[in-house]
């Protein structure tokens, strides 16, 4: 008998071994018992501890911050608060004037805190913020998504020297990040440049000053753009002069920008001017543009007030204004579209465009295949033609 | 209100998409339900900043260049999906790094064997002999699939001798006879990460098919990433008259007289159909969607011998530097701390730093995948899902970052500057996989594939109830992109065959 023939016999004998092995595992008490309790809805149970899809939060306390901003202290009533990364947001679902819609708000409390805090500023022309600031009472329940977003300190690549550029209510994610840094005693240095319109608009002033006074690795600079007469502090915008002066040598530092869109655009140009590499800058999202018709690429002569017909395939025909995100028009007509960031990034509100044209500002980050395949992110899609869409 | 379809497919992973398209192609009225807002399951992508990351696909097998199209391509062509996607073929299989060895293997059997013999001249005889067995298995298996049901079982022994001989064997057991040098064995077994079990446990059939497929036709990658493939399936399905509901899962499968006959959607709508095809894992399907009491206990007894395959920890990196400057010229690089794959495999069961790493730089095969002067790098390590279940929620981020950090450090030893130039980083874990794909244990290959659960002997497509079918990695032929798509063809084919029999009056019940 040759060696190969012996090997052949050995290989064929494996049939018996495999059969025996399988039979043994199927005896009671052997192998994996998938009827065991630990496999019951295992995916949902395990995942929801860290990434709940929805949370019900009860308003426990409302703290006025400025004339227009309030902090809502919330407790979760349908489970423990999930962990999150300081800087993340939740999308708050609301029913305002009969319209079911949502808005994302950064969490301002630290991740390990017992209560979750959202700080909201009422802004003129807003739809949801005025409702939250003026109508929400202690004891009310808010429905939100789980925490989401990518604007946080990432120790894997961000280094230990951070510069926070905050504008107006854009301070909220930074507040969470600073509270987290203190609580966890992270060995990082933070320089916060906080731009506000007027001194009385500064949110968290007391706590920020206290943090700066008691922690040597944290410096605070307030910059006021419309200072009252005789204001003694720093005045103007977060321009290159202010940044180089206040943040010092940029080498090795990571910059974080959160504020209104105008401030983003301004900081982007400024940071480029002082040669901060793109890879060292993190931007938070800022919602849809205030006036999309001023965006580069907007069709010339088209008024934002222009109204188009939108055929929601197989459902109904609705009207939508050119200057308003398609998502808002859909929501007003009672359609439920999943949403999260409402800034063009997360793709939750992705729908298919079957006919017509929309305008999408550059902040819409579509997948390459979605762009080619006619999908749109409805939160930053503006009808510039009669449309046919499929949700 | 109840609606009537011929078939309802639960889940738009590649198995579900493929099965739904297969049925629609053959004239059935099909409804496809998907809980997520994007189709594809793991075959998807996500955007961070100016980078769009491929989630799961490293490389597709059996697509092949124009003059050597493989089985998967022909199936996609039959459905009409192939015309909607463009495929790129990588020139090399992989670069394999061990202490003291750094080898890059080319595509094509001759070149592949020549390269191995050049590095391991003392093993050349055994290497050729072993590759003969691998390709013999590949040849026989293709014929077995084609000639299924022809002739009796005993005649298979003579018609497909290699298939018959190696079907119950373990890869390592066959390999170790022909090749003695442990390093040569390791280089040949490098694809073990693609099949989830080390050489000492993995079915010879499965790893041989994997290796033979890649060596012969080269690794392929779709332009637009795997999301382009998923979108192409979806559009083809809709063009064929299929109906899709996104953002709408099924939370119950309706049964009547021991037969699956419809679903109840997340929107509490009951929809009826003759056939229900589940892309969800069989445990979730039978426990949560159908309910214990309605499934014959024998189903769970048989399942006892199947174990959930590993999941992954991935580090997705958008790097602000050209791949050439970082030395990332190969599409797929495997970094190994040594050649003891059994030890590496044991490491997949804990929460420690991995012992082996895949470094995928898509730019090598798909230069336009990121803006000029940048590249996309994904580090992959196998990790079982279960240890992650017990992590206290507040320690989750630290745990994943600790492992991610170790992986970056390991990759940086080969590609200096990788961390420094990284602009965006995202670490995914088995829990991420569970969250987005809903797979038990975050498994990326369904059930593991030792010989007892290999392509032929693992769970079939027919479920424990009449009218219920399974698709996806949990079923035949197994885990991986190509197998998942093929499972849709097989399950779809089984349903069509049954319908045909019924029409011919050979079956009284559907």
State the alpha helices, DSSP H only, in B147-192.
153-159, 161-166, 171-178, 182-188
Distance of CA B212 to the CA centre of its chain: 16
CB A265 within 8 A of CB A289: no
- State the residue for tokens 């019940």: B509
Q: Which of A3, A279, A312 to mutate to test the interface with B (most CBs of B within 10 A)?
A: A279
Select from B360, B338, B369, B341 the least CA-distant residue to B418. Answer: B360
- Model confidence over B171-200: pLDDT tens digits? 999 999 999 999 999 999 999 999 999 999
Residues of A in contact with B252 (CB under 8 A): none
Inspect the interface and report whether the beta carbons of B287 and A34 lie closer than 8 Å: yes
The phi and psi torsions of B270 (rounded to 5 degrees) equal -95, 125
Q: Which of B52, B170, B303 sits opposite A34 (nearest CB)?
A: B303
Average pLDDT over every residue of A192-213: 95
User: Are B300 and A15 a contacting pair at CB < 8 A?
Assistant: no
Summarised one tens digit per residue, pLDDT across range A123-144 is 888 899 999 999 999 999 999 9
**Between B48, B174, B435, which is nearest A150 by CB?**
B48
* Contact call for residues B313 and B404 (beta carbons, < 8 A): yes
**Mean pLDDT in residue range A105-110:** 97
Q: Three-state DSSP class for A39? A: helix
Q: By C-alpha distance, which of B217, B238, B221 is closest to B229?
A: B221
Q: Which of A193, A190, A122, A123 is nearest to A159 (CA)?
A: A190
Q: CB of B309 within 8 A of CB of B445?
A: yes
- Residues on chain B touching A46 (C-beta within 8 angstroms): 388-389, 431, 434
Binned at pLDDT 50, 70 and 90, residue A87 comes out as: very high
Give the C-alpha separation, A275 to B385, whole Å: 43
pLDDT, position B83: 96
Q: Burial letters for B233-266: b for 16+ Cβ neighbours within 10 Å, e otherwise? A: bbbbbbebebbbbbbbbbebbbbeeeebbbbebe
Q: Which residue(s) pair with B47 in the sheet?
A: B52
The Cα–Cα gap between A372 and A362 comes to: 16
> C-alpha distances in angstroms, A50 versus A75, A92, A146, B328, B386?
16, 18, 9, 35, 15
The reported pLDDT for the residue numbered B432 is: 97
**Mean pLDDT of the A74-87 span:** 97
Residue B1 is predicted with a pLDDT of 46
Mean pLDDT of the region A233-258: 92
Query: Measured between alpha carbons, how far is residue B308 from residues A32, A33, B54, B166, B437 in Å?
Result: 9, 12, 24, 24, 15
Q: What is the pLDDT of residue A124?
A: 82
What pLDDT score was predicted for residue B145? 82
Q: Closest to A278 (Cβ–Cβ): which among B37, B302, B423?
A: B423
Measure in Å the smallest separation between the Cα of B149 and chain A Cα atoms. 21
The DSSP code for A83 is: P
**Nearest-angstrom CA–CA distance, B68 and B55:** 28
> Which among B46, B235, B284 has the least Cβ separation from residue A43?
B284
What pLDDT score does B150 carry? 66
Contact yes or no for A83/A76 (Cβ under 8 A): no
Interface test mutation site (partner B, options A4, A35, A360, max chain B beta carbons within 10 A):
A35
pLDDT at B149: 64
Rounded CA separation B418/B97 (Å)? 17
The pTM assigned to this predicted structure is 0.96
- What residues of chain A lie within 8 A of the CB of B164, using their CB? 12
CA–CA distance, A270 with A262 (Å, rounded to integer): 12
Cβ <8 Å between A31 and B305:
yes
Q: Which residues of chain B have pLDDT under 70?
A: 1-3, 149-151, 506-510
All residues of chain A having their beta carbon less than 8 Å from the beta carbon of residue B38 are 347, 350
The whole-angstrom separation of Cα A214 and Cα B197 is: 54
> In a 3-state reduction of DSSP, which class is residue B172?
helix
Q: Which among B376, B390, B230 has a CA at the least distance from the CA of B314?
A: B376
Contacts of A31 in chain B (CB under 8 A): 304-307
> Could you say which of A8, A47, A154 has the minimum Cβ distance to residue B165?
A8
Q: How far is CA B361 from the centre of its chain?
A: 19
Report the mean per-residue pLDDT for chain A. 95
Percentage with pLDDT > 90 across chain B = 92
- Using DSSP's 3-state secondary structure scheme, residue A205 falls into helix
Give CA–CA dist B30/B73, Å, rounded: 23
- Chain B residues with CB inside 8 Å of A34's CB? 283, 287, 300, 303-304
Q: Which fold has domain B3-66+71-82+224-306+449-503?
A: FAD/NAD(P)-binding domain (3.50.50)
The DSSP bridge pattern shows strands A69-76 and A116-121 to be antiparallel
Suggest the residue from A33, A86, A156 to mutate for an interface test with chain B (most B CBs closer than 10 A): A156
Contact A17 B404 (CB under 8 A): no
Q: What does A311-341 look like in DSSP terms, one character per residue?
A: EETTTEEEEEETTS-HHHHHHHTT-----S-
State chain B's mean pLDDT as an integer: 95
- The DSSP H or E segment spanning B221 is strand B220-222
Residue B206 to residue B445: CA distance in whole angstroms: 12
Chain A residue with the nearest C-alpha to that of B229: A369
Question: In angstroms, what separates the C-alpha of A90 from chain B's closest C-alpha?
Answer: 17
Backbone torsion region of residue B225, taken as left when φ is above 0, otherwise alpha when ψ lies between -120 and 50, otherwise beta: left
- Minimal CA–CA distance to A263: which of A286, A296, A247, A293? A286
Nearest chain A residue to B285 by CA distance is A41
Q: Are B357 and B380 in contact (CB under 8 A)?
A: yes
Query: How far, in Å, CA of B331 to CA of B62, rounded?
Result: 17
**In order of start, what are the domains of chain A with their CATH numbers?**
51-145 (2.40.30.10), 161-283 (3.40.50.80), 297-390 (3.10.20.30)
Which residue is closest to B157 within chain A, CA to CA?
A: A12
pLDDT digits (tens, 9 = 90+) for A298-315: 999 999 999 999 999 878
Cα B289 off chain centre by: 24
Arithmetic mean of pLDDT, A262-275: 93
Of B166, B287, B304, the CB nearest to A40: B287
Find the closest chain B residue to A82 by CA distance: B393
In tens, the pLDDT along A145-160 reads 999 999 999 999 999 9
Q: Which residue of B has its CA nearest to A25?
A: B305
pLDDT at A280 exceeding the cut of 60? yes
Which two structure tokens, joined as six digits, stand for A60?
């426990």
| 3-class DSSP assignment, residue B32 | strand
């Amino acid at each position: 008998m040759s060696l190969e023939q012996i090997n052949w016999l050995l290989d064929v004998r494996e049939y018996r071994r495999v059969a025996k092995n399988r039979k043994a595992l199927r005896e009671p008490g052997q192998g994996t018992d998938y009827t065991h309790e630990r496999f019951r809805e295992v995916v949902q149970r395990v995942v929801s501890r860290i990434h709940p899809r929805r949370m019900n939060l009860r308003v426990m306390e409302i703290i006025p911050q400025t004339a227009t901003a309030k902090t809502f202290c919330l407790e979760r009533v349908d489970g423990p608060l999930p962990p999150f990364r300081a800087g993340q947001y939740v999308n708050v679902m609301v029913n305002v004037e009969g319209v079911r819609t949502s808005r994302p708000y950064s969490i301002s409390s630290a991740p390990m805190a017992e209560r979750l805090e959202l700080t909201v500023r009422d802004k003129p022309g807003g739809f949801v913020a005025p409702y939250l600031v003026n109508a929400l009472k202690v004891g009310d329940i808010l429905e939100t998504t789980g925490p989401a977003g990518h604007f946080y300190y990432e120790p894997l690549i961000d280094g230990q020297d951070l510069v926070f550029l905050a504008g107006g209510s854009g301070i909220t994610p930074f507040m969470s990040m600073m509270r987290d840094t203190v609580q966890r005693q992270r060995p990082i240095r933070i320089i916060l440049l906080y731009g506000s319109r007027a001194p009385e608009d500064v949110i968290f002033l007391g706590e920020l000053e206290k943090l700066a006074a008691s922690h040597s690795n944290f410096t605070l600079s307030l910059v006021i753009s419309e200072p009252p007469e005789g204001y003694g502090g720093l005045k103007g915008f977060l321009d290159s002069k202010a940044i180089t002066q206040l943040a010092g040598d940029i080498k090795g530092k990571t910059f974080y920008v959160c504020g209104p869109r105008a401030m983003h655009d301004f900081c982007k140009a400024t940071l480029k001017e002082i040669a901060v590499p793109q890879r060292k800058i993190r931007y938070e999202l800022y919602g849809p543009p205030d006036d999309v018709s001023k965006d580069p690429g907007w069709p010339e002569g088209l008024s934002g007030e222009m109204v188009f017909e939108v055929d929601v395939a197989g459902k109904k025909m609705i009207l939508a204004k050119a200057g308003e995100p398609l998502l808002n028009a859909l929501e007003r007509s009672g359609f439920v579209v999943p949403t999260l960031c409402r800034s063009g990034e997360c793709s939750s509100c992705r729908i298919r465009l079957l006919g017509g044209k929309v305008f999408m500002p550059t902040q819409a980050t579509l997948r390459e295949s979605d762009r080619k395949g006619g999908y749109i992110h409805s939160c930053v899609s503006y009808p510039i033609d009669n449309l046919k869409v499929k949700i | 209100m109840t609606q009537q379809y011929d078939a309802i497919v639960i889940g738009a992973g590649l198995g579900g998409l493929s099965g739904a398209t297969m049925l629609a192609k053959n004239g059935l009225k099909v409804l496809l339900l998907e809980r997520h807002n994007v189709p594809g399951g793991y075959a998807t992508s996500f955007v961070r900043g100016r980078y769009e990351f491929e989630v799961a696909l490293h490389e597709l097998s059996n697509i092949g260049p124009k003059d050597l199209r493989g089985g998967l391509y022909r199936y996609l062509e039959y459905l009409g999906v192939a015309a909607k996607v463009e495929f790129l073929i990588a020139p090399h299989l992989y670069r394999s790094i061990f202490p003291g060895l750094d080898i890059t293997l080319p595509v094509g059997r001759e070149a592949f064997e020549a390269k191995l013999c050049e590095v391991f001249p003392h093993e050349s005889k055994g290497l050729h002999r072993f590759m003969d067995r691998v390709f013999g298995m590949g040849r026989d298996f293709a014929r077995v699939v084609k000639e299924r049901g022809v002739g009796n079982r005993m005649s298979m022994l003579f018609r497909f001798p290699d298939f018959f001989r190696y079907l119950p064997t373990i890869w390592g057991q066959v390999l170790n006879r022909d090749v003695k040098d442990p390093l040569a064995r390791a280089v040949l077994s490098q694809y073990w990460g693609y099949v989830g079990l080390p050489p000492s446990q993995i079915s010879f059939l499965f790893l041989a098919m994997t290796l033979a497929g890649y060596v012969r036709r080269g690794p392929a990658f779709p332009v637009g990433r795997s999301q382009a493939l998923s979108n192409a399936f979806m559009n083809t399905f809709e063009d064929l008259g299929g109906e899709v509901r996104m953002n709408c899962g099924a939370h119950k499968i309706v049964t009547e007289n021991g037969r699956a006959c419809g679903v109840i959607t997340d929107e509490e709508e009951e929809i009826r159909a003759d056939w229900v095809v589940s892309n969800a894992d069989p445990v979730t399907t039978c426990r949560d969607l159908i309910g214990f009491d309605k499934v014959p206990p024998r189903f769970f007894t048989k399942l006892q011998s199947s174990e959930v395959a590993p999941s992954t920890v991935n580090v997705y990196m958008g790097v602000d530097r050209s791949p050439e400057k970082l030395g990332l010229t190969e599409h797929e690089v495997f970094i190994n701390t040594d050649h003891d794959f059994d030890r590496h495999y044991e490491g997949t069961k804990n929460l420690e730093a991995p012992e082996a790493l895949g470094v995928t730089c898509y730019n090598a095969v798909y230069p336009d995948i990121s803006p000029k002067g940048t590249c996309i790098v994904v580090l992959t390590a196998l990790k079982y899902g279960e240890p992650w279940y017990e992590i206290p929620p507040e320690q989750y981020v630290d745990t994943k970052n600790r492992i991610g950090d170790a992986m970056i450090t390991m990759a940086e030893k080969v590609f200096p500057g990788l961390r420094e130039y990284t602009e965006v980083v995202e670490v995914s874990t088995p829990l991420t996989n569970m969250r987005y794909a809903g797979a038990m244990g975050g498994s990326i290959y369904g059930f593991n594939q030792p010989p007892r659960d290999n392509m032929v002997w693992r769970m079939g497509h027919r479920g424990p109830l009449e009218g219920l079918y399974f698709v996806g990695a949990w079923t035949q032929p197994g885990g991986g992109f190509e197998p998942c798509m093929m499972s849709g063809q097989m399950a779809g084919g089984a349903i069509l065959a049954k319908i045909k029999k019924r029409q011919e009056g050979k079956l009284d019940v559907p």
